[in-house]
Amino acid sequence: MRARQNPFRVERIQAVPYRFQDGICWPDLLARLEALQFRAAIVGPEGSGKTTLLEELSRKLGGLGFKVILCSAKSGHAAEVVPRRLQGSELLLLDSAECFGAWEWLRLKWASRRAAGLIVTAHRTGLLPTLIQCRTTPELFRQIVGNLVGHEGQLPSGMLDAIYRKHKGNVRNALRQLYDGWSAHSEVSGAVKELDPAVVQMQSC
């Protein structure tokens, strides 16, 4: 299969919107953020949607009139990534905050002390008050896959659950495996065989 036709290509995965769990919706999240004075952390394990949520949040906050600065701690040291001093109208959104060491974190907090806010993503709680805990479920994974492949290529739920378990709930990695399985075949039936639960279980051993 051509990469451009693979339903799990990066461009399509990046277009999947964040899906709130537990009945939370955008107004709830924004109200909580305001209550936390725009200093908060989006917490969750890898592949749980933190970056997706942060990017969507940056668009929402930009629409509310904030001057949003979105950056990633994976891009380098704090001195390279974070502006030296943030102004009152600026709101810093930092992905993968745990990549910064203790000194870098202190520098970041100092630089942002007069900013309109500081929102980070992290794997663990403790950096800032928790805004939301991101998590995935097998059902969520099945929904995302269903939307990506459409009715033509529905995949057996047992197979998807096995892939989800293999990647311990990391939806990003699970979708990458589906990309590989799909790319090896030109037909859905071939991909299903490639991604058979028995094969998936065997690979995970």
Partner 1 sequence: MSTLRIATQRDRRNFQPGEEVSGAVSWTLEKVPKSAEVRLFWYTEGKGTRDVSVLAQQQFFDPKASDERSFQFTLPQAPYSFSGKLISLIWALELVIEPGDHAERIEITVSPTGEEILLSDIGKVTT
Which residues sit at the interface with partner 1, rule CB under 8 A? 1-4, 6, 9-11, 176, 179-180, 183-184
β-pairing verdict for 39-43 and 130-133: parallel
Least distance (Å) between residue 177 CB and partner 1: 11
Q: What angle do CA 104, 108, 110 make, to 5 degrees?
A: 115
Measured from the CB atom, is 34 or 180 closer to partner 1? 180
Partners of residue 69 on adjacent β-strands: 92
| Residues in CB range of 11: below 8 A, 6 or more apart | none
Cβ–Cβ under 8 Å, residues 145 and 154: no
Least distance (Å) between residue 68 CB and partner 1: 18
The gap between the terminal CA atoms of the chain, to the nearest Å, is 28
Cβ–Cβ under 8 Å, residues 163 and 200: yes
Least distance (Å) between residue 187 CB and partner 1: 14
Measured from the CB atom, is 3 or 198 closer to partner 1? 3
Least distance (Å) between residue 3 CB and partner 1: 3
Altogether, the residues listed in the chain come to a count of: 205
Measured from the CB atom, is 11 or 22 closer to partner 1? 11
Cα-flanking dihedrals φ and ψ of residue 91, to 5°? -125, 120
Measured from the CB atom, is 133 or 183 closer to partner 1? 183
User: What does the alpha-carbon distance between residue 143 and residue 177 come to, in Å, rounded to a whole number?
Assistant: 16
Least distance (Å) between residue 182 CB and partner 1: 9
Q: What is the C-alpha radius of gyration for the chain, rounded to an integer number of angstroms?
A: 19
Least distance (Å) between residue 186 CB and partner 1: 9
Measured from the CB atom, is 130 or 173 closer to partner 1? 173
Measured from the CB atom, is 3 or 205 closer to partner 1? 3
